[in-house]
Every structure is written in C-alpha cells, then in structure tokens.
Chain A
Amino acid sequence: MADAWSKLIYMTLPYITLAILVLGIVYRVKRWKKLPRAKSIIFPTKPNRTGTVKAVAKDILLFTKTYKSSRALWVMAFLLHIGLLLVIMGHIRTVTEISWLWGLFNLSKDGIDDASMILGSIAGTLMLAGIILLLVRRLTPTWRFLSIFEDYYVLLILLGIVFTGLGMRWFSEIEVNEIHDYSRGVLTLSPSADITNAWFLWHFTLAQTLIIYFPFSKLVHVFSKPVTEAWTTR
C-alpha cells in the first residue's frame, strides 16, 4: 500500500500538478480577459512611465508600502518572502547543477554542499520564522476577525512544506544527487519511485498541493501585484 502511495505521488502526481498549474493559469487569465476594462481613472498617472516602474519595482523589492503602514507586518512579510526567494533559488539545484556559477565563487562540489547546508538552513529558518509570526498574528483577535479560511490554509501548507524541508535536511540522510536524478527522471518522462525518505515524500506532496492551489488562490498576487500597483502608484 505504502508503495502504491509513493508511486502515485512520485510518478503520476507531478504531471497532474503541472497540468493543473498551467491550465489553471490559462483558465484564469482567459476568464479575466473576458471582463471589460475599467474606464475610470484610478489616479492621475505619472507623466513618465519610468517613474511608475521605479516606484513599483522599489515596492516589490523592499515592501515600502507595507513598511509605511505597519512595521511589524513588514518584518513578518519580508522574512517570509526573502526566505522564499532564497529557497526557490536553492531549489534550482534539485533540477540542475549550475557548475559555472559555483566556479565563479571558487567552490568545489563539497564546498557547494556545505554552503547549501548553511545557506539553505538559514533561508528555511527565515521563512519558518516569517510564517509562524504571520500565523500568530492572524490568531490575535483583530486579525482573526479579518482572516478567512484561505489565509490560514496557505500559511499552514507553507508551514508544512518548510518544516518537512528543514526536517529533511536536519533529521534524515538524503543526498541531493538522489533528488537530482529523480527530477531528471520526471523531466524526461521516465519517473522513478526510488526515494524512500519519508520527509521528502511529505515535503513533495505538500508542495504539490500548494502548486495545484496556486492559480485559484490569493497567491496569484505574484502576477497581479505589479499590475494593480502600477494602476495606483504615482
């Protein structure tokens, strides 16, 4: 049974996830494009486009608007997002080795592993701290009143992913090569179910749950934020 379960997760689910992600985004964008354009002026626009682009880019990189509104929220959100950025960069290694990049830093294969062990752990911890703080904040009376299920759901899944991800690093023996081989298998349409690590199984499953949910959730702010911000930023 366990075997069949992990076979499903490793060999079938990745393709389903990818299909839902792509089709979901296409569906959402199509539905959105059917709607009429808003005609009213939100704010008088900046005379030059570069000004708007700069302001929006600054806000996306530094969360300036959040900083202005609430320092506490800024710390939490920034921890989460900067951690996430580092983690996503680290995950490139699970698909491909960027040897030329490591060459730039004069790192040998062992050196990369050590660096990734430390950096990855730091990134994961930052993210974990951000998620826990945001979750605790949501549970205080004012913000609990404001929150809906989706808000908790996203945070809880992220918490699970980060927790299992860190657990995999700290409490189990798993080589990046194993994951590397597996992801290569998925990409070449010959997936295997060789990995027996339970931490990884959970990490992988939860991550896919999040990706499936992505196009239908508030997580689309990844795409929508630059657009909506450009409408309102002067």
Chain B
Amino acid sequence: MTTEPLTLTRPSTEELYKFLGTKLNRNLAMYFQSCQRCGACAENCHYYKATGDPKMIPAYKAELVRRLYKRQQGSFLNILPWFGSRDGELSDDELQLLVDSVFGRCTMCRRCTINCPMGIDIAMIMRACRGMLTLAHLAPKGLQATVDKHLQTGNNMGVSSQEFVETVKWMEEELQKDVGDPNCTIPIDKPGAKNLWVLNPREVMFFPLLLKAQAKIFYAAGEDYTLSSRSWDVTNYALFNGDDVAARTIAGYVLSEADRLGIKKILCTECGHGMRQLKQMAPIWLKRNDFQVRAFVEVVADYIRRERIKLDPKVNQERVTYHDPCNQGRSAGYIEEPRYVLRHSVMDYVDLLPSGRDNWCCGGGGGALTMSEFRSRRLDAAKVKADQLKASGAKIVATSCHNCIDQLNEINRHYNLGMKVVNTCELTADALVLARPKDDHDGEGYLKDPSIWNWDMAQIIAIRERVGDLTEDHRRIIEYVRNYYDTHKDWPLPARIGKDLDVKRSGLFNRSPEVLFKVAGLPNPGDHITWDVRGLKDCGEK
C-alpha cells in the first residue's frame, strides 16, 4: 500500500483515543479480556484460509485494536512493562498498519464470531477501530466517497430524482408489456401505501431489469406498495466506515420518507447490509422502533406460503445454488426463507458446503468492493468461495445481496467458473404463473368474509399460518377471542387474553396476536392495531 500525503489535518492522538473511549462498551471490554489468541478463528477466516498469512488471523487484527485500547485506557497494570502501555503519539506507520488490517483484511462477515470459543464479535471491534480511522481521515477513499456521496445526494451513486423517476417509468412500461396489463403501475410517492419499497442504487443505475422482476412479483401478489422519489436508497456504507453520525443520518433518510408517506412497513430490495442496518441498527441509532423492516426473500416466502403467488419451477431447469449474504444470513437470520423461495422457483437446488450460517463470505463484504487499493487481496481471499462454488456443480449461483452479486461476478471472471450469477428475484420472477389464485382471504391472510368461518376452516388457516394442529388450548383461546369480538366488537389485547385465560407464556399461535385473529376468523384489524409488535422482537436492546 502506498502512503499518500494527507490533505486534511489529522486529529491529535488524544482526540482519536477519546473517540475510542466513546466506542468502548461492556461487550468490547469483555471481548478484549477474554481473547485467548487460540487461533480457532484462523480457520474460519477466508483471508487466512486462502493465503495462510498469520497477519490475516482475526485474533491478530483484534489484538491490534486491543493494544490501542490498552494504551488509551491505561490501568495499574502499566507498572509491569510487558503488560502495559507505551506512551506517545500514534505514528503514521501504526495508523497505516491499522488501516491495512481493519479495512483491508476483514469483511466483517462474522464467520469467526459464530465459531469463536469465546464468542468474540470481531466485527464490533473492527467497527470501533474503523470509526477511529475515519475520524483520522484515513478510511479508504472509495469507501469514504460512497458515504459522502450518499450524504450529499441522498443515494450512494448520485442518481437525481428525475433520472430515478424516468427509470421507474421506463420499467413500468416494460412491466405492462410483460404482464399484458396496461393498468399495472409501479407507484411512486403514493401516500398511505402499506409498504415502502426501498432500492439499491445499483439496480437503478445498472440493472433496472431487477426492478421489473421485483415489481412483477409484487404485481402478481397484489401487493400494496410504493417507491419514494426522494429517499429510496436502502444502502448505508457508514455501517462499514464506523461513522455513527453519518450512519444515523443516512438511516434517517429512508425513515423520514416513510413518515412523510405515512408508512410503517419497509420492504427492502435484495440488499444484505441495507436490510440489516435498517432492521437491527436503525432502531438504536434513531432510538425508535415503530416501524417494521422486511427482507425481500422473507416477503416472497410469505407470498408463496399464503399462495399469493403461483410459481412454476419447470422454467428454471439448471442446477442452482444459493450464496448466503453474511448480513442477511448469518447476522439477520434469514436462512430458511431464501431456500424456501428457491425450492419453489427452480427444479434443481443444491446447498453449498458449508451453507447457512456457516457459509463463506463472498469476500466483498464490509465495503470491500469500494476499496480499490485492496482489490488483489480481495480476489485472492475469494479463492475459498470459488472452490466452494466449483464443488457445488451448480450452473447458476443465486444470492440475495447486490454487493455479493458484484463480488461473485468478479470471482466468476477471475477464477473462470463459467457460472451465471443472479438475484433470487430473477429466478422467482421467471417462474411466476400470472393467473392469481382465487382465494377466500385477503392479501394478509384474514378472511374476506368472516361470517363463513368454521372450525375446519380454522384448522386450514392454522396450517397456513404454521400453527399446526389445533389443540384444546388453541380452541379455548379461539373461543374466547370470538366471544370477546362478538360482545365488544373489538380485538382483544394480547395482555388481556393472557390474563383472562392464564396462557401468557404458552407460545401458542407463534406468539403473534395477528396469527390468532386470522385463525379465529376475525376481520382484518388494519390500522386499528397500534400495538402490533410483530417483527420487532429482534430490535430490543441487549
């Protein structure tokens, strides 16, 4: 790496240490103290596995940051020279080594974390240090430029609002031709829609057909959604440069648009980190959790389960495998959904080995694709992924993350894999059968006509909602809820049900009042339910 002359004045060492101090929390302190440097992480890092270079071992990278903290914190252990801190300024060399390590040798994929015997979250450590280096104006230029562009223009590629609307209109025409329905639209700025659909600028700039593919699925499912012409970018690269202020601002763009349009449900495109930062980080950055974030695969899996769309897998005959994006799979827990979608969309699906939570990172995570200075290292480390893909024998690799797609395309070229890299939405859109099934329930699973409810129907709905066979307890609660509704013409609060029937912790009906109401055949409460906490259970503070 070449050191270029700095154009901005770097903050003093004290200021940098002060910043580190603000990032220190109970988790980090415990991580630093409990790392045994046993090296179990080494085998779980694709950088180390591909190169065998000990500088790539996650524990070493964490140790570099730990040393910073030892100096910053100080302690009475400093009286023993070998434990303690060395005083003095952070030199250029030290800072460059840190840049090289925390930006250039880690994609924050957290595969080491789930396999660490001590449960150390390396990504949290890396992010603290990345934040410090960003403060010192040392973050890789490509990454910083992406964040700056997002702050300046509202999306990370600087697409103007007019350009965006034109692209969407163009795709709307294409979609109308495709589905043969001149009335089908891709709504923009439609207030009061149920879902706000947010995009990755990569789709708008380079792959507008992906917009069409997704819109086609929404059309088939009869989804009520809208795009925003102002803030439609789900990405947030400040998650990777560790700048919390920027991260908060960027996450706020999307949420303020949702507020403007009066929408509580955000529907993310297939963008791994964008979905995760909105779902898991934004509630903390912005101190609010009155919104619900859903990943695209989650939504499509839901459509299939509720028979809102019909798929014909025979369209996709070739063998398909799925690459788990780290942010969506390992970190946000969407393991089953994409597989469910693919099994319904293609004839021949195989898992990679290892897959699911243990799947290897594509090598482009953590903003690595924006850091051109580390390109050759990134591609070397991707050998692990390339071998894994080769071993699967698949012709097509699907994934649900735009960042992964770019990296997988590069791997494909670099290692001559001869595979096709696609988004899962493309395969699903191709397999769509557009005649919508006739159904007795509305889009969300409530009966259109509650008066036709009977116990047989309750059992059918229960299976569709994944409750399973109805037991005595289920029936008792259903009877209670129906009686309550008949008397009060209102939906009972879950707390009240629990209190009256003493079933508080039973876990029946998947702990969801909505599911209960659906099975009990109550009408759709729509906006009456303000205490709907479904989907937010992951957002509470640790």
Contacts and interface: CB of A to CB of B under 8 A. Distances in A.
A9 B392 CA distance: 64
Given A40-B284, A77-B38, A225 B118 contact: yes
A232 B121 contact: yes
A100 interface: no
A181 interface: no
Contacts of A35: 24-26, 29
A231 B119 contact: yes
Interface stretch (A140-148, A162-170, A198-206): A140-148
Given A65-B115, A146-B54, A146-B59, A42 B44 contact: no
Nearest to B73: A31
Nearest to A231: B119
Interface stretch (B433-441, B521-529, B534-542): B534-542
Nearest to B354: A68
A147 B35 CA distance: 11
Given A59-B117, A63-B117, A146-B59, A224 B26 contact: no
B108 interface: no
A42 B121 CA distance: 7
A68 B330 CA distance: 17
Contact of B281 (A33, A40, A141, A145): A40
Range for the number of chain B residues in contact with chain A:
35 or more
A218 interface: yes
B119 A69 contact: no
Contacts of B59: 146
A37 B118 contact: no
Contact of B77 (A48, A70, A142, A216): A216
A234 B29 CA distance: 22
A141 B28 CA distance: 28
Contacts of A94: none
A32 B37 contact: no
B116 A65 contact: yes
B63 interface: yes
A47 to B, nearest CB: 8
Contact of A148 (B37, B39, B280): B37
B60 A218 contact: no
B542 A218 contact: no
B167 interface: no
A65 B117 contact: yes
A3 interface: no
Given A70-B43, A218-B35, A228-B118, A146 B26 contact: no
Nearest to A77: B38
A213 B57 CA distance: 27
B333 interface: yes
A101 to B, nearest CB: 32
A69 B115 contact: yes
B39 A224 contact: no
B120 interface: yes
Interface string B81-125: 011000000000000000000000000000001111111110010
A151 B37 contact: yes
A43 interface: yes
B27 A38 contact: yes
A65 B119 CA distance: 9
Residues of A in contact with B, size category: 35 or more
A73 B115 CA distance: 13
B117 A218 contact: no
A2 interface: no
Nearest to B116: A65
A62 to B, nearest CB: 11
B366 to A, nearest CB: 15
Could you say which of A38, A44, A142, A151 has the most chain B C-beta atoms within 10 Å of its C-beta? A38
Interface string B197-228: 00000000000000000000000000000000
Contact of B333 (A43, A145, A150): A43
B41 interface: yes
Contacts of A41: 280-281, 284, 538-539, 542
A66 interface: yes
B32 to A, nearest CB: 9
Interface string B166-194: 00000000000000000000000000000
A227 B30 contact: yes
A5 interface: no
B360 to A, nearest CB: 14
Contact of B25 (A36, A142, A216): A36
Interface string A58-91: 0100010110111001000100000000000000
Contacts of A44: 280, 332-333, 538
A103 B120 CA distance: 44
B31 interface: yes
B30 A228 contact: yes
Contacts of B114: 43, 232, 234
B153 interface: no
A149 interface: yes
A41 B27 CA distance: 11
B29 to A, nearest CB: 6
A221 B194 CA distance: 48
B28 to A, nearest CB: 7
A39 B280 CA distance: 10
Nearest to A36: B25
B36 interface: yes
Nearest to B331: A43
A65 B33 CA distance: 19
B483 interface: no
Interface in A148-163: 148-151
A68 to B, nearest CB: 6
A217 to B, nearest CB: 8
A169 to B, nearest CB: 29
Contacts of B330: 43
B542 A38 contact: yes
Given A40-B124, A146-B57, 10 more contacts: A32-B30, A44-B333, A44-B538, A69-B44, A73-B39, A73-B40, A142-B42, A142-B54, A147-B37, A229-B118
Interface of B: 24-31, 33-44, 52, 54-55, 57, 59-60, 63, 77, 82-83, 113-121, 124, 280-281, 284, 330-333, 357, 507, 511, 538-539, 541-542
- 10 nearest A-B residue pairs (beta carbon): A69-B40, A232-B119, A38-B27, A228-B119, A229-B119, A145-B54, A224-B34, A38-B25, A221-B34, A44-B333
30 contacts: A32-B29, A35-B25, A35-B29, A39-B541, A39-B542, A40-B124, A40-B281, A41-B539, A42-B113, A43-B330, A44-B538, A45-B538, A48-B507, A65-B40, A65-B117, A66-B117, A69-B41, A70-B39, A70-B43, A142-B57, A143-B39, A146-B39, A216-B77, A218-B35, A225-B117, A228-B27, A228-B34, A228-B118, A228-B119, A232-B114
